[in-house]
Amino acid sequence: MNPNRTQHVLHVNSTSYDLFILVLTIFALLVAAMLLLLPLQPSVEAILLWVDFLLCLVFLFDFILRLWLAPNRIFYFFQKGGWLDLLGSVPIVPGLPWTALLRLARLNRMVRIVQRLKGEDRGVFMADARKNPARSALLTTIILAFLIVTIASLLVLRIERGAPGANITTGATAFWWAIVTMTTVGYGDFVPVTHTGRVIAIALMTFGVGIFAVLTSFMASNLVILQSDQDELLDLFREENALIRAELAELKALITQQQAADE
C-alpha cells in the first residue's frame, strides 16, 4: 500500500484526526500533571502510569505515521519538531523521574495542531465528519475509551478496596479488570463484589459492545473505499486497453495501405 492510499484511508491530515490527537494530548498532559504535582497513593499512581503508557503507544503510532507520510522526512523530524513528538512518546519509567519531564515535549504537538486548526470554523469540522462518519465515530470512541477506562479503574478501586472478599485492591488489578471488562473478555480472575462495582462492570461491558460495532463500521467503510479504488483502476485499465487496441488497428490499416501502394 502506497503512502497516498494510506493517507486516504487514515486521513492523517484531516480536521477530525487533528482534533483527536489534540484531545488526547491535553488528556495526556493532565495525567502527567497529576503524576508530577499531586501526592497520589501508589495504587492510583499505578493506574495513571498504565494510562500514560497506552497514550504513549498512540503518540508513537502517530509519530511513525506522520514521519512515513511526510513529503520531506528530515524536514519533519528536525524543523517541524518531529524529534519532540518522539520524545513525548517515551513512557514514564518508575525510578527515573526525569522521564516524566519528557511530557513537556508533547506541547510541541499541541501547539502545532492548534496553529493548523486556527482560523477554521465549525463548518469545516462538520463537513469532515459528514464525509466519513465511521472514522469520526472511531476516533471519538477511542477518546471515550481512554476516559472511561481511567475513570472506571479509579472508581472500582475506591469502591472495592476494603470491601469483604474483594480482590480488586491494587491499581494494577483495577486497570486490568477495566480493560478485560470493556473488551468483554471477562476472564473472571478479578471481579467486583459490591453492587456499585457490578454496575460499573455493566456500563463497561455495554460500552465494549459499542466499540466492536464502531470498529465493524469503520472496517466496512474502508473496505468500500478500497473496492471503489480498485473499480476505478479497472476502468482506467479498460480505457487504456481500448486506446491501445484502437492505435494498433490504425497502425495495421496504415501498414496494409502502404503494402497495397507498393504493389
Mean pLDDT along residues 54-78: 89
Q: Residues 190-224, buried b or exposed e (16+ Cβ, 10 A)? A: bbbebeebeebbeebeebbeebeebeeebeebbee
- Mean pLDDT of all residues in 161-165: 87
Is residue 136 within 8 A of residue 17, CB to CB? The reply is: no
Nearest to 12 by CA among 123, 115, 132: 132
173 pLDDT band, cuts 50/70/90, is very high
The pTM of this model reads 0.75
Q: What is the pLDDT of residues 188-247, one digit of tens each?
A: 788 899 999 999 999 998 888 887 777 776 666 665 554 555 555 555 666 766 677 777
Band (260; pLDDT cuts 50, 70, 90):
low
Region 55-72: mean pLDDT is: 90
pLDDT over 90 at 60, yes or no: yes
Domain annotation for the chain: domains and CATH numbers: 1-131 (1.20.120), 133-226 (1.10.287.70)
Pairwise pLDDT comparison (173 vs 127), residue with the higher score: 173
**How confident is the model at residue 80, as a pLDDT?**
82
Rounded Cα gap, residues 44 and 33, in angstroms = 14
Q: 50 or 116: whose pLDDT is higher?
A: 50
Check residue 187 and give its pLDDT.
Answer: 75
Cα 57 to Cα 85, 86, 98, 100, 103, distances in angstroms? 12, 11, 19, 16, 14
